[in-house]
Amino acid sequence: MRNLLAFALLLPAAASAQSGAPFLVEQTGARFASLQQAVDSAGGDLTVIVAPGRYRDCAVVAVPRFTLRAAEPGTARFDGGVCEGKGTLVLKGGAALIDGLVFENVRVADRNGAGIRLERGDLHVRETMFRNSEQGILTASDPQGRILIEWSTFSGLGGCPDGMCSHSIYVGDYGALTVRNSRFEAGTGGHYVKSRAPLIEVTDSSFDDSRGRDTNYMIDMPHGARGTIAGNRFVQGRGKENHSAFVIIAGEGAKFGQPEVKVGIMPGGSGTQRLTRAVGKHKAMLLVLTGEMISAREASEMGLASRVVPDADVLPHAIKMAAGIAKLPPIAVEMTKDAVIAGQDAPLAAALNLERKSIWLLFGTQDKQEGMSAFLEKREPKFKGK
């Protein structure tokens, strides 16, 4: 009985402040053995400082203002901890600042394991690394919320094992997304940045796909967006032939080719297969067996480029075309794109069935009603993506 009583008396102490514990609550000076204990210790604004170390912790956070900061940037690592089957940090609302941490090896049953799972509220991520996980940052929807990511790294993230893809960053119907001075590299599937936010800024960042595998777009905005994408560096992985690009605008001085055979290897990343489907066996053989480069005009004639313009006009032409597409009803654009991409490798009957189902769904949208009405009334439509 004495042993049982002693054990019972010790239980509350496990959840109380502990001297020398790694999670320091800045407002009170108290230290805790686990991140969730530190979060639960205060109901108002909260700042938690994390000592150097590797932790299996996770936490669900629902306070007005939350800051999680490494005592020394890059030395506090959250390794695989998961709460609610979602991710290491599950943020329920308010405003959060995540500063100087590492999130790694996050995996869950539905393959959407994220370092940060943002359900509502604003998020600011600074000098933080996400690596070797299913997703770096995954959000739900919050049209009033804003996300700022700066000086951070996303490496070894994403996947599309059965057509259901995860991404380095996936932002749902959020108010705005800003990414600055960050690095994306070595993706393992999906997109590096996928955003449905209507406002976006991606500037002064690098996207290095040279060690990527099964990756798709560097930046995907399926609903379109307004904003700025500028000052970034994009490095395409070997063997990637832009098979999934919507439209390819080529400058007259551009060169196309598959030179891998000249260094003793062969095109990978579907380079031998999708190229053959795009241009036919004989033209594909010409490119992959000789390793020769061809001009933009030749590439256009083969169907590898949508349009050829003077070199100085490539970016203005692409921006003008993208701006025109962005003005169109976003649901119709997305479903049209998906029907073409999914149908290109499917049997004709299956592709036509997908097309019919997509058309039926579009007939039920508000944008369809607006588009038809605007056409009959001879006015400009105002699409809402609904």
Point out the residues that are catalytic: 241, 260
What is the C-alpha separation between 274 and 342, in angstroms, rounded? 13
In the beta sheet, which residues pair with residue 149?
125, 179
Strands ordered across the beta sheet of 226-230 = 31-32, 23-25, 46-50, 65-70, 95-99, 122-126, 142-150, 174-180, 199-203, 226-230
SS3 content of the chain, % helix, strand, coil (to 5): 25, 30, 40
In the chain, the N- to C-terminal Cα span, in Å, equals 66
Identify the residue whose tokens are 């804003």: 146
In the beta sheet, which residues pair with residue 96?
66, 123
What is the C-alpha separation between 317 and 348, in angstroms, rounded? 33
231 within 8 A of 206, measured Cβ to Cβ: no
Residue 231 burial class via C-beta count within 10 angstroms: exposed 0-12, middle 13-18, buried 19 and up: exposed
SS3 of residue 302 by DSSP: helix
Reading the block at residue 221, the tokens are: 């905005």
SS3 of residue 316 by DSSP: helix
141 within 8 A of 174, measured Cβ to Cβ: yes
What is the C-alpha separation between 105 and 112, in angstroms, rounded? 12
What is the C-alpha separation between 166 and 169, in angstroms, rounded? 8
218 within 8 A of 244, measured Cβ to Cβ: no
What is the C-alpha separation between 154 and 187, in angstroms, rounded? 8
Cα angle at 311 between 308 and 314, to 5 degrees?
Answer: 65
Identify the residue whose tokens are 């919507």: 246
Reading the block at residue 57, the tokens are: 């912790």
Cα angle at 18 between 17 and 19, to 5 degrees?
Answer: 125
